[in-house]
Structure 1
């Protein structure tokens, strides 16, 4: 018999089922269920420590699950028999820190994974890298080293690196949190462009205004529980749960919504 859950899993790029993660016996994620459809932008919100980053790391198999499953295009990639490195190749990840290799030029940072992991020739990898860098206004910095770039430029390079092998799913973890306020806009503009191109994105952010503009769906996490999920105008404008309302009141008081 085919259940609704089976149908949802098959139709989604990403499906998370009953995901549980503990650290030192303490629950960090408690039975998370989440689907991300093709071309959908799903934004995770919540206070620091709510489980957003851990969820993204579990999806990318950087953390071992204590229970539950992660499906990518209907395949259970959390199955121990699945090669995690192969599964990760379908996902592009950008973290809070830029994580660029300081001894490599911008173009070498972008082409490293396509050449070494995916077996793309240097010529083809560089052509793709230069095309992407041109799209984000950094073609003239291709031979520069990361320490010659601003924080916003470095984060844009990190996003280009994640795009270089055309991943099925993009995972963004608070990618503006390490930036000065004046640099946040240029990075969010790039994410907005990617969303407009139909990229499938799961991202954690504290930028509520951006979430309202770009997200197809907003998910509020609290204490490792997915408390509320829905369109941004509902979750951010008329939340159902009191815990969501409390969180948003604090955000409003801080001037971030």
Structure 2
């Protein structure tokens, strides 16, 4: 493929005090890619996503989004975040707002959409994801799977260039995991560029264009899912997969 990658990370380093969480991370994500980050808890997956969304400052290295260095100290953080959607494992919905209010807040306040346009977008997506009848409910009236689906609608309502998903099924009961993964699969099939941390190896094998195995803050191995999950080169990757498959 040619052209500038959508996301390019070079020599990224992140530490908390003396503890290095990410070390010399190199990653390229092109438009319409679905890149799955796998690895044990504490390997750096969530921190990497938070660095990309500028929720954590980096100590060294660069992150480029669409050719723009977003780790430049002078960058407009709000503008950068408006180009991405992020979904957390804990939903992070505003409990005092209805589903519709949660989904339309950023389109109105950040993107300047009229209330009517924001509501039209929101209701269309809520209907697509089986939540049309939940628009006026508050999050505490929803199941975990429904809350996570609302969080995903909120992340994609403005059609961001890149969607970041941080272990979006890990807080769910097993029977709810499938309904959330179905939405991720739907986004992938529609060409959404996705970067997700996940423990769902079957899903990664089926949907990912690339899989990255993180170990102690380093991307130790990356490549197509058939290679990384089916015939890994690194012994650490093989050890991890033996534990989770």
2:74 maps to: 81
For residues 188-227 of structure 1, what are the structure 2 equivalents within 5 Å?
188-227=181-220
Q: CA deviation at 1:228?
A: 0.3
1:132 aligns with 2:125: yes
- Alignment of 1:186 with 2:167, yes or no, is no
Q: Which residue of 75, 80, 85 corresponds with 1:92?
A: 85
**Deviation by residue 1:122-172 (Cα, 9 ceiling, x = unmatched):** 000000000000000111111111111110000000000001111110000
| Residue of structure 2 aligned with 1:106, choices 99, 102, 119 | 99
SS of the residue 1:11 aligns to: coil
SS of equivalent to 1:184 = helix
Q: Which secondary structure state, in structure 1, belongs to the residue aligned with residue 230 of structure 2?
A: coil
| Two-structure CA RMSD over aligned residues (Å) | 1.1
Aligned length, in residue pairs: 245
TM-score (norm 2): 0.98
Matched, 1:251 2:244: yes
Give the alignment of 1:50-65 within 5 angstroms. Answer: 50-65=43-58
Cα distance in structure 1, aligned partners of 2:54 and 2:97:
26
- Say whether 1:46 aligns with 2:34: no
Gaps of 5+ in 2: none
C-alpha distance in 1, partners of 2:147/2:88?
Answer: 12
Q: 1:81, CA displacement in angstroms? A: 1.2
Q: Does 1:240 align with 2:233?
A: yes
Tell me how far 1:25 sits from its aligned partner: 2.0
The TM-score, its normalising length taken from structure 1, stands at 0.94
